Amino acid sequence: MSSLAGRRIVLGVTGGIAAYKAVEVCRRLVDAGAHVVPILTSGGRRMVGETTFSALASEPVRTSLFDDPETPIPHTTIGQSADLILVCPATARVLSDMRTGRSADLLTATILATRAPVMVCPAMHTEMWEQPSVQENLAVLADRGVLIVAPESGQLAGGDMGHGRLPESATVLAAVEAALGGGELLGQKVLVSAGGTREPIDAVRYIANRSSGKQGNAVAAEAASRGADVVLVTTQPNSAPTGVRIIAVETAAEMAAACELEAPDSALVVMAAAVADFRPAEPADGKLKKVDGAPAVVLVPTIDILATLGAAKPAGQTLIGFAAETDDLVTNAAGKLARKNLDLIVANDVSKPNVGFGHSTNEVVLLLSDGTRHDVPLSDKREIACAVLDAALGYRS
């Protein structure tokens, strides 16, 4: 059962262009079992329709302090009954109002009238996001205990690229789940690796692979939503989910050092990263020049992180590996499962369409050391992460 089942969440939608993403956030919250009470500001109503949220949420949209004859003091009633208030998106205006305690509308009045956790998802143009006043407001709110889901870099309104983009709905949902706590992994440490390592050839070039880190990020987010204390060792820190401790690395050696340090006291280790098998033996300190001709790049093996962790696995720890294959999927994955002393391996055929590297979907076969097999059809990577953790928890029990 989801940790959100039966929880009352007030969803405040303000007047940013990212308000359209709040529709998907609303749907996901309801699908997870939450009771969603939508409040739209006047700006939010200009961006998205009331009918949409009334249809998707658990209650009709609220918009005013004064127009509900059945609830003469709606902000108090809503605020007192909330388990969490989520402002998504949060504009610069509402952040300013929250800092100063200005009761400008039903949403800000409700925030003032609650003792529940408040979470904001700022979203705005880069120039606005970088304004010192906005950053100061966020710092003050964070000091007061307001939970902040940081924006991401990407395409903004008008086609600009920059920081200030509202994260995807799965990231927001994971943050809500982590804030409300609970779940099977409550208080347990989970180590996850994500992304593809980069092995330097010279000062500007490196050997890499196609991994985006999306599957590892999804596992980290799902583990956090189940109450785990998650450590994410990643080569893609800018796309990491909220609510986890991030260790940024680049090379296989750096990832190995971080994982060997964090693994011994972890109840669950999920090695989703695509680690290079080889690295240049002697990377150049400077940039290699074309005029000097093609360099002879001699490759040597990198450390086998998974095998190292498998050999040192403490009693009671569950170790999960990944196998990206293009042929003989099950045979190759089963061999890796046995050789590296794993409890579970997640195998996918990356030659298939929409599977694996760079995609938002995946299709996997889960092989457990007790001989159990689970086939998971093409699904969103968060759903894959859910299946992986369900299988791991079932194995441990």
Give the residue numbers marked as catalytic: 209
Residues 159 and 331: their CA atoms lie apart, in Å, by 46
Cis peptide bond upstream of 89, omega within 30: yes
Cβ-count burial of 289 within 10 angstroms (0-12 exposed, 13-18 middle, 19+ buried)? Answer: exposed
What's the token pair of residue 349? 């055929």
Residue 197 to residues 208, 250, 277, 297, 374: CA-CA distances in angstroms? 6, 5, 10, 18, 28
The alpha-helical segments, DSSP class H, found in 32-131 are 42-47, 50-56, 74-81, 92-100, 106-112, 126-129
Cβ-count burial of 249 within 10 angstroms (0-12 exposed, 13-18 middle, 19+ buried)? Answer: buried
Backbone angles phi, psi at 324, to 5 degrees: -95, 115
Q: What is the CA radius of gyration of the chain?
A: 23
The interaxial angle of helices 19-31 and 169-180, nearest 10 deg, is 50
